[in-house]
Amino acid sequence: MSAEHTARFTLDPAFAVSPVDGRIFGSFVEHLGRCVYQGIYEPGHASADEAGLRTDVLDLVRELGVTAIRYPGGNFVSGYKWEDSVGPREDRPRRLDLAWKSTESNQFGLSEFIDFVRKVGGTPMMAVNLGTRGVAEAIELQEYANHPGGTALSDLRAEHGDAAPFDIRLWCLGNEMDGPWQTGHKTAEEYGRLAAETARAMRQIDPDVELVACGSSSQGMATFAAWESTVLEHSYDLVDHISLHAYYYPTDGDRDSFLASAVDTESFIENVVATCDHVGARLKSKKRINLSFDEWNVWYQDGSGPTLSDEGRGADWAEAPRLLEDNYSVTDAVVVGSLLIALLRHADRVKVACQAQLVNVIAPIATVPDGPAWRQTIFYPFAQASKYGRGTVLDVRPQSPTHETKRFGTVDLLHATAVRDEETGAVSVFAVNRSQDQALPLEVALAGLDLTEVVEHSVLADADPDARNTADQPDRVTPHAGAGTTLVDGTLRATLEPLSWNLIRLG
């Protein structure tokens, strides 16, 4: 290809974005469909441990490298009674879950979740119910979970078998309270006051908890930005983060726009940052609100994508019905990789992020009841980013060939970022080629970096952009080695295959 068809950027450690907060590689476990039951928890499974957790799933979660794990929802939390989920299992009540029109058995509850998080090496991110409940229930849950002992609720936790506190440091103040679909939906004024009151009470118990206020459920909400502004006017000095949620899928067969979904993600992040900083300026505050992008993924919300099973949704009020079980393609994986790049490119403000969800429900891990667990295509970009995206994000400003998309106009074919390990000096370049049919030559100038070799060039791509992994073919799509990648005289040269996710490690 000619020079004008080559993508380029320069890496220099003097120009950095921010150290990466490891919680950016978080996930999400909601009582929705088969995420919990038959997903992470299946007592009768051949691999189940003494707590009923599937050890094959535990192994995959560890390999995936998730950090913060958000729980128990999601829309589910707005009808959640935490008291139902503690104590002897035989005494736990069955409840209707209005969010997903299912029946909740509460056989997997708070203690089981903490056990799961500890076994996979993660940290808990707990949401409180500000839909049908409020301040009192939030601080009661906090006391039960975190107080060392000597009170009714902390002693009850010990009586239930957990003498040591759960030490939950990160809390979500409700979920998507801007959404009319949310049980207990509120106006920005109503929610802002409730969030502030809840935050103030929780800080009376522990001034050092980290709190996330609900932002908009998407940038497309009619109340977007005005919602954040009003909520933060009430809670700015009481919370640490505001949430963002975004899901993407192709519409009308428009794959080019779908591959450019991260254009919307980066715009969303930058618009929320601008709103937060505007409120801070009005309040004359020196504090900076960070972002918790605690729901993101590819999700075929119109039901147009292939699913893991043809069994369907099941009857209303079923227990653990099959819901939202998208079966992901190579194209979906490339989009997920691009979304991860967007999060890393904004690591100065995005400090927490949770891919939704972890198992079966729009998830990187899939399971069969009484059967195997396997990696979906989207597993690989996440696992590689989590493993090699630790360190400091370098400022990447590409010069790239472009193409036209229906939704986003002119977009770069290259979407990229790079992370430097401060201890070893190694650099990981993460790059996506958005072209469906053209390879993309890449040249990276390395300034001030003592790098001499290409350790690895891993590619996720396939001649069939709709190829996917299934229970019958769990390894149909896996990363492969890129060809011809070199590092000579301070310049990295590579060719990015069409429609591909790339990890290039330099040592």
How far apart, in Å, do the first and last CA atoms of the chain sit?
28
Q: Can you tell me the distance from the alpha carbon of 134 to that of 116, in angstroms, rounded to the nearest whole number?
A: 27
Q: Which of 176, 197, 210, 497 is catalytic?
A: 176
What letter represents residue 273's amino acid? Answer: V
What letter represents residue 228's amino acid? Answer: E
One-letter-per-residue 3-state SS of 17-59: EEECCHHHHEEECCCCCCCCECCCECCCCCCECCCCEEHHHHH
**Contact call for residues 99 and 76 (beta carbons, < 8 A):** yes
Q: Can you tell me the distance from the alpha carbon of 249 to that of 8, in angstroms, rounded to the nearest whole number?
A: 29
- Per DSSP, the three-state class of 494 is strand
What letter represents residue 422's amino acid? Answer: E
- Per DSSP, the three-state class of 432 is strand
Give exposure, 454-484, as e/b (b: 16+ Cβ within 10 Å).
bebbbbbbbeebebbbeeeeeeebebeebee
Of the candidates 433, 500, 414, the one whose C-alpha atom is nearest the C-alpha of residue 462 is 500
- Per DSSP, the three-state class of 172 is strand
The angle subtended at Cα 195 by Cα 104 and Cα 342, nearest 5°, is 80
Please confirm whether the linkage preceding 74 is cis (ω < 30° from 0). yes
- Per DSSP, the three-state class of 481 is strand
Q: Can you tell me the distance from the alpha carbon of 414 to that of 440, in angstroms, rounded to the nearest whole number?
A: 8
295 catalytic, yes or no? yes
Percent of the chain that is helix, strand, coil (3-state, to 5): 30, 25, 45
Beta carbons within 10 angstroms of residue 180's beta carbon: 8
Decide the pairing of beta strands 500-506 and 454-460: antiparallel
497 catalytic, yes or no? no
- Per DSSP, the three-state class of 382 is helix
Catalytic residue set: 176, 295
